[in-house]
Amino acid sequence: MEKRQGPRNYSFYEKFTYYVPGVADMFILFALLLLGALIGNLIAVPFLLILGKEAGMAYVTPISYVLMFIPPMIYTSIKSRNGSMTRTGLKLDSAHFSPLGGALCALLVILGTLTMGMATDPVSNLLPEMPAWLEDTLKGLTSGDNLILNFLTVSIFAPFFEEWLCRGMVLRGLLGNGHKPVWAIVISALFFAFIHLNPWQALPAFLLGCLFGYVYYKTGSLKLTMLMHFTNNTFALVLSNIDSLKDIDSLSEVLSAQQYWILVAACALMLVLIVRAFRRIPLEQPKGNLDDVKPLFEE
C-alpha cells in the first residue's frame, strides 16, 4: 500500500477536497448554515447590550457572519478527512485557463461581472419597492462610518465564504456526482440566491450565480469566482459611498430612456462576447474542468 501526499491546491480549501456532496447534502449544509447564523446571533446579543445597537452592530456583523459558516466548514472538513483514504476527491480550485491565460480570464470575469449587473438591471427593476427595514439593513453593510469593517465583511468575507459554499461545495458536488452541467449550475445559483433570504438580493444573486457557475465549470477556478464576487460587492460598496449615487436604485433614474437602453444593450452584447470567450476553453471531462485527486492511500 502506497501513501500519497495530500493535495496542495489551496492550503485552506484542500481540507475539503475529499468531500463531494450530493443533492441531499445540500440540505445538511443549509441547516448547518442556519445553525451557524443562530450561534452568531446569540453571541451578538451581549455586544449589543454593552455597546448599544448602532455601535454594536458595526463590530458584531463581521464576527457573526464568519461564525455562520463555521458549522458547515467543520462538518465538511470531517467528512473530507474521513473519506481521504479511500475516495477520489475533487479540487476546489484548479487553473484551466488555456488558451486564454490567467490574466485575460481575470480581466474578462471582472468585466463580465460588471456588465452582468447592468445587463440585468431591467429585470431587477421589476421587483416591488424594497421594505424600509431591509433597505436600512443593507445600507448599514455598505455605507456609513464603518467603511473598513464593511469592506472586510462585504468584499473579503462574503466572496471567500460564499464561494467556498456555493461553488466549491454545492456546484462542485453536483458536477462531481454526475449531474448535467446546466442543471448543476442552475441549482447552485438557486442555492446562492436562497441563502440571501430576500428576493431583492436573491434575483441578482441567481443571475450572477449562473455566470459564476459557468466560469467555475469551464476553469475549475475558485479564485476567479471569488474575484467576480469581490468585484460585484466592492462595486456596490463604492457606489454606496458616493453621495450623488448612494440613493439611486437604478441608472434609469439618472439616464434618459434612450441612453439607458443603449447601455443595457451594449452590456448584454459584451456579456455574450465574454461568455463566448470562455467557451474556447476545452473541457477535459463531462463534469467540467475539475481536477481529480487520488486517495491518500492506494494499493
Cα distances (angstroms) measured from residue 252 to each of 206, 234, 248: 22, 21, 9
Cα distances (angstroms) measured from residue 64 to each of 13, 44, 57, 68, 131: 21, 7, 10, 6, 23
Q: What is the pLDDT along the chain (299 residues), one digit of tens a residue?
A: 444 444 454 467 888 999 999 989 999 999 999 999 888 888 877 766 666 656 556 667 778 888 999 999 999 999 999 987 888 889 999 999 999 999 999 999 999 999 998 888 888 777 777 777 666 666 666 666 677 888 888 889 999 999 999 999 999 999 999 899 999 999 999 999 988 878 778 888 899 999 999 999 999 999 999 999 999 999 888 877 776 666 677 777 777 888 889 999 999 999 999 999 999 999 988 888 998 888 876 55
Phi-psi region of 144 (alpha: psi -120 to 50; beta: other; left: phi over 0): left
Name the residue type at position 245.
L
This prediction's pTM? 0.89
Q: Which residues contact 72 (CB under 8 A, 6 or more apart)?
A: 29, 32, 33, 36, 165, 169
Residue extents of the structural domains in the chain:
2-298
C-alpha cell at 37: 447564523
Task: Give ∠ CA 91-94-97 in degrees, rounded to 5.
Answer: 160
Task: Give ∠ CA 234-238-225 in degrees, rounded to 5.
Answer: 15
The span from the CA of 219 to the CA of 258, in Å, is 37
